[in-house]
Amino acid sequence: MDKQFSVAGVSTLNGVVKYRVANSLKREAILRKSGHTDIKLIELPQAMSKEDAFTFIACHADFQTMRPTAKGGVSPKAKTEKTATKAA
């Protein structure tokens, strides 16, 4: 079974915006202490896998202006666009 998370969001470290998952909003303090900026975390409506949490926040209105990178450095939206470009 995949690990489940109750909090998801994004943060910026060294100019790179990335998805973040956690099980408590207290994670914000840890990220801030580690030098992260522009931290935005929300509680998920239910526990989710990392992939489901990324999909949820990618569609969430509060995250529409942010372009975080996912695992591998490609945002879900950019990955879809890249696949569509290759198919054309």
How confident is residue 40, by pLDDT bands cut at 50, 70 and 90? very high
Specify the pLDDT at position 85: 39
Q: What is the dihedral of CA 11, 61, 66, 44, to 10 degrees?
A: 30
What's this model's pTM, rounded to 2 decimal places? 0.70
Q: Of residues 63 and 84, which shows the higher confidence score?
A: 63
- pLDDT tens profile 73-85: 334 444 434 434 3
Domain containing residue 59: 5-87
Whether the CB-CB separation of 11 and 37 falls below 8 Å is answered with yes
Question: How far apart, in whole angstroms, are the C-alpha atoms of residue 70 and residue 17?
Answer: 9
The mean pLDDT value for 26-30 works out to: 94
**Count: domains in the chain:** 1
Query: Which residue's entry shows tokens 């943060």?
Result: 11
Helix (H, G, I), strand (E, B) or coil at 50: helix
- pLDDT: which is higher, 50 or 67: 50
